[in-house]
Structure 1
């Protein structure tokens, strides 16, 4: 299969310039010059490491970008998948039941209103990202920064749709399931399956609520977002402690974890590559598998609807997704939700 990487993440925003400025100020993204298209949309491209974000807003309330924002608030409208042969990827997806939204633009329906776009992966980026050729190459990082790459994308689905979404990813995209888990938090529960491209560079964590249990935060995301969509992006970093300290000093808030979690680390994992007291101070979670350890933390959502948020992750050999940490994350989100409601 020709899908190699996520070439870029395409956001629809109420104000692309304001959103871009916030990401640059907080997370060290670099913004290209804004571009205004013939239809009046305004686009700002951001980059850091191999991460590429495209933010678009529209002044016309009748424009599809504005309609997306009205339904969901600011959010991810498309994931552009870098392919060796976008046309072949589109044809394969269509053969396996994908609904083509815009053949010329290589766009198919994905998860709710988050579409998938097949673009050509080239050795160099196009000179004009707003031109008629919609391609993005795996550009090299301009220099060491806080963030390196897009580790994975977490996608919330309505109850009962997980199995079909996994089949879609396997058949239409050529992905394979690499991990699945059922997680209980109090009286609520969720199912999760992780699917990944053959290249190992495109990873979707697909999540659905267990509708037989009490409604919880996945249900709340679906209600507030207005259906399926991207819950969070996970950005990898080579030094999570420095990254957290840096962005926290800039005003970014992270979800907190009870001290008991850190008290039990030595017994659960033994020695950790980052000292436990550092992890405790920063509220960074840690897990390990046969390959090594991973460290992760989740930013507090600043979305007006409290739907989407960002994750920072540092992998030191680990290839899994913090199995023991997922429950800790959702317990932390529950505490945030309860605090906001009180």
Structure 2
């Protein structure tokens, strides 16, 4: 399978685009005419530059408003086409995209269009070139791939074929199953783009909101299943028009594109096993089961302060690493690690960001398969030297400088806590009823949210929830969750659009630390909060106005409102399903804990309470140090 991407899909000048495309692992590139024209070198030089990057030129595009024109416009269109053929031969590519006409004087007519393409195909064929015809979703007369195929069929020329674009088919809600009936050798090229489900003008939607397969809501997999079942054997290419991508890092966007293509075609191969897809075998999406551990990096007095703070949350220091300055704190199934080493990954994170979560450990179905799949999707393996008696736990580099380690039940990796750590004494403080990590919240710039959702949903068996708006007094934060199939592993992704928001200030203060918020689960939040407050825990203070409003919005059992108010506990309800949450005060530039009780059937994250929680946090500031006990 040859992978390709259109130069219009990413930002930068042409050389920068090509460098990013090659580094991401693509085999070829569509040259978008505007990028070629803007470059200061000729066609022959551009072709050589592309091949020097190890890339093929899979397509030259677009050629607009060709078919069904009256004279003298028709003759002029043929002249324009011949000039483009000259450029193609200089570039060293044999295929050009002709999109269906939007010209106001185009006459229409299936046979007229077929005759024009047949005549142009004869000219192209004499030069060893091919033309591919594509139905634009907003074409004046042809806006359906089925009509475009009929035109190509009637043209009946070996140099004339069909180009399919997922957006033009799915954006018009055309069933892609009809593609299965098209001979695969007459499909000359396939372009892919996803898009969010938005009701708007097709042209505007296409020009501004396309994204990578898997980042939107279109049925891209069904489209490609039909394409491959037809017998298509050519390049699979991305053509993405997106305002956000135009201003994003070219290398990151190209890497996302490659990840999306490999994951998509792996899905297609599994759904259509009888089709021929030349793709290296990779493991399927891995079952992500739970958070195994969260590791903090801390130095100096921070270690003692963080340890004291974790004690107020009911955690006990149960073990210390045999070789390193690393301590293990546990309560229920929650493991928190404090790493104060002065060398290695944790130290590098501390030098850059200060006290922060430096590592996320995930319990997965297979640690080995997770790393193999991640590598195939473009995420490099992470490793650092192991000391005597230490286990090599599989890990990868995630996004934003993050690191993820993977532990499974079958390889013995779960024994790391006994192998590498020695118990600390017998004294254990009273537990507070915390059972497991309900979810973690990762904060990022809004422009990076699509990358993070794509990262999780292509690597793991996780689904994304609809994006929601979180109102901050100083702006808006976009939030979207990804969840494992069983719901045990949940990660909320929060995209900050401005540094004035709490999320944005956290990013600025920590130089891009990703984990801002750790939510711990309990089965009895009132007993837990009572225990924690007796141990010195100081909850985030919530104003009386909030509880007055709760009384107006919900019918509550007698005494419940007083209990909520006494513990600074927030409340929400979905139908009959209840949700309780209480927050710690912020520390380390905005990091904080949440303790929740999730009633049966409650699927959300307390979204209606977010504006009040954020306002309360802002009143106390970001919290540079650790709350005193």
TM-score (structure 2 length as normaliser): 0.48
- Aligned pair 1:167/2:454, yes or no? yes
Match of 2:320 among 27, 34, 58: 34
Match of 2:565 among 259, 280, 284: 280
Query: How far, CA to CA, are the matches of 1:286 and 1:330 in structure 2?
Result: 15
> Paired residue for 1:80?
361
- Alpha-carbon contact 1:35-1:130 (below 8 Å) kept: no
> Paired residue for 1:6?
291
> Structure 1 245/173 Cα, relative in aligned 2: closer, same or farther at 3 Å?
same
> Structure 1 90/199 Cα, relative in aligned 2: closer, same or farther at 3 Å?
farther
Unaligned residue ranges in structure 2 (runs of 5+): 1-285, 385-391, 422-429, 625-629
> Paired residue for 1:114?
402
Query: How far, CA to CA, are the matches of 1:180 and 1:241 in structure 2?
Result: 31
> Paired residue for 1:210?
497
> Paired residue for 2:328?
45
Give the aligned CA root-mean-square deviation in angstroms. 2.9
Unaligned residue ranges in structure 1 (runs of 5+): 135-142
The structure, 1 or 2, with the larger RCO (C-alpha pairs under 8 Å, 6+ apart) is 1
Between stretches 225-234 and 107-116, larger displacement belongs to: 107-116
Match of 1:146 among 416, 433, 437: 433
Query: How far, CA to CA, are the matches of 1:338 and 1:11 in structure 2?
Result: 18
> Structure 1 91/146 Cα, relative in aligned 2: closer, same or farther at 3 Å?
same
Q: Which digits, 9 at most, give the CA deviation of each residue in 1:126-170, with x for residues without a partner?
A: 5552747x9xxxxxxxx9743111010011102311111111111
- Aligned pair 1:321/2:623, yes or no? no
Tell me the CA shift for residue 49 of structure 1: 0.9
- Alpha-carbon contact 1:240-1:313 (below 8 Å) kept: yes
Query: How far, CA to CA, are the matches of 2:378 and 2:412 in structure 1?
Result: 32
Query: How far, CA to CA, are the matches of 2:396 and 2:319 in structure 1?
Result: 28
Q: Which digits, 9 at most, give the CA deviation of each residue in 1:62-98, with x for residues without a partner?
A: 5432222122222211111112211111122222232
Q: Which digits, 9 at most, give the CA deviation of each residue in 1:193-229, with x for residues without a partner?
A: 0111123111111001124xx7221111001111141
- Aligned pair 1:312/2:595, yes or no? yes
SS of the counterpart of 2:509? helix
Tell me the CA shift for residue 34 of structure 1: 1.7
> Paired residue for 1:271?
556
> Structure 1 128/190 Cα, relative in aligned 2: closer, same or farther at 3 Å?
closer
Match of 1:292 among 562, 569, 577: 577
> Paired residue for 1:54?
337
Query: How far, CA to CA, are the matches of 2:401 and 2:489 in structure 1?
Result: 19
Query: How far, CA to CA, are the matches of 1:169 and 1:89 in structure 2?
Result: 11
Tell me the CA shift for residue 17 of structure 1: 5.8
Structure 1 segments of 4 or more deviating over 3 A? 122-128
Query: How far, CA to CA, are the matches of 2:339 and 2:349 in structure 1?
Result: 11
TM-score (structure 1 length as normaliser): 0.84
Q: Which digits, 9 at most, give the CA deviation of each residue in 1:14-70, with x for residues without a partner?
A: 158625642553122222232242xxx312112211111222211x4x543222212
SS of the counterpart of 2:551? helix
- Alpha-carbon contact 1:20-1:44 (below 8 Å) kept: no
> Structure 1 122/293 Cα, relative in aligned 2: closer, same or farther at 3 Å?
farther
Tell me the CA shift for residue 172 of structure 1: 1.8
Tell me the CA shift for residue 278 of structure 1: 1.2
> Structure 1 332/127 Cα, relative in aligned 2: closer, same or farther at 3 Å?
same
Larger strand share, 1 or 2: 1
Matched positions, count:
323
Larger helix share, 1 or 2: 2
> Paired residue for 2:254?
none
> Structure 1 166/127 Cα, relative in aligned 2: closer, same or farther at 3 Å?
closer
> Structure 1 338/75 Cα, relative in aligned 2: closer, same or farther at 3 Å?
closer
